Amino acid sequence: MHQLHEALSRDRLDLEEAQRLADRCLDQDPIDRECRRARAVILEEKAAKVIYDQCVDEFDLNRWQAAKDCFEKLPEGSRLAKKARYKLAECNKQLSSRHRVEGRRGEADSEGAIKAKYPDPQLALAVLRYYQGRTQPAMQELQKLAAMSRDRGLADKALELLGTMRLVYGKYNEGLSLMHRTQTVEAKAAFDLALLADAALMPEGAMSFYREDISKQLGLQLYKEGQEHCNRKSFLDAFRSWSDCLQRSPSETACANGLLQLEQAAEDAFEEVGRLEAAEDWREAGAKLMFIQSITRPESKAWKRAEKRLREYEQSMRPRP
């Protein structure tokens, strides 16, 4: 245990050596709390390193927003999160000047699309405010328009938009509340209803404050959930969380890196397949191969390798003519 504490206290942490020491400690005493806690720290640091390396790649290519988003996914207590502070500060510095220009340009494009979808200037102004996340003023404008307009068609449209905005606003806040209570399944259901209503309001290509923030909130939560499952070796649950994350936010680098961790777990499982094959335990070997496929994507090398091996099993078990 002394060697393990010494390894963890070094300025430059050798993760592989630290994990070997933690595993040896747990082999001697599987229920030792300090050993288990140390192993959890090591696994978190290893996961953080996968993310950090990706962040540095983005940083070196001057992809400031991608690098910033990536660095912010690092676990707060990890060593690499502290190491990343200066790079994160540089990202913020670079983005602050660029966003002043690009932000105005992007909002101008969306404003034009909103005006095209809503020719009436009063409706367009309300929807633009909603797009910016200023939903309370937007709803007040629509309520006033519905009550005071002599144009019945315009009043009805204002009421329709008001109802849709109320739905988005309510479900968005419900989802946030559920997220804070770690009720992710229920939060996703609430957010999905908000996004469905948001799609009815927004012109194609315009990403409202709500759509952007829901994607960010869910991506972060699903990444953390997946990492917790992975640390507990609940690889199937980790795969589900990270796959859901990427389905909702395809550019989420942290979740993509999470799936790469699972491919490493799959490679480790192939060693067990080899031992089972040597013992001619074909049933368990086949089950292990199907497990490998359950935690990897069909396009991955591990999934394809397992598929090839399963087909070989199938062919070898067919009766010969």
Quickly count: other Cβ atoms within 10 Å of residue 178's Cβ.
18
Q: Walk along the chain (321 residues) and give the pLDDT tens digit of each residue.
A: 444 445 444 445 555 666 666 666 656 666 666 766 666 777 777 777 788 888 888 787 777 777 888 888 887 777 788 888 888 888 877 776 554 444 555 566 888 899 999 999 999 999 999 998 889 999 999 999 999 989 999 999 999 999 999 999 999 999 989 988 888 889 999 999 999 999 999 998 888 989 988 888 888 888 888 989 999 999 999 999 999 988 887 777 788 888 888 988 898 899 899 899 888 888 899 999 999 999 999 988 899 999 998 998 888 765 545
In this prediction, residue 96 carries a pLDDT of: 66
**CA–CA separation, 246 and 90 (whole Å):** 27
What's the burial of 308, exposed, middle or buried (CB within 10 Å: 0-12/13-18/19+)? exposed
CA neighbor of 39 nearest in space, from 220, 204, 231: 231
- Among candidates 24, 7, 84, which has minimal Cα distance to 52? 84
* 3 state SS for 65-91: HHHHHHHCCCCCCCHHHHHCHHHHHHH
Phi, psi of 163 (to 5 degrees): -65, -40
Q: What is the pTM of this model?
A: 0.58
CB atoms within 10 A of CB 120: 16
Torsional class of 182: left (φ above 0), alpha (ψ -120 to 50), beta (otherwise): left
Residue with tokens 């080899």: 274
On the 0-12 / 13-18 / 19+ scale of CB atoms within 10 A, 56 is middle
Contact at 8 Å (CB) between 135 and 167? no
Query: In which element (H, E) is residue 195 found?
Result: helix 184-201
Torsion, Cα 201 203 204 208, to 10 degrees, reads -60
**pLDDT at residue number 35:** 64
Rounded to an integer, what is the distance from CA 10 to the centroid of its chain? 31
Output the pLDDT for position 32.
61
DSSP letter assigned to residue 235: H
pLDDT of the residue at 11:
43
Question: pLDDT value at position 282?
Answer: 87
pLDDT of residue 10: 47
The confidence score (pLDDT) of residue 104 equals: 52
Query: For residues 1 and 35, is the Cβ–Cβ distance under 8 A?
Result: yes
Sign of the torsion formed by the C-alpha atoms of 264, 247, 217 and 73: positive
pLDDT of residue 30: 65
**Token digits of residue 173:** 């806040």
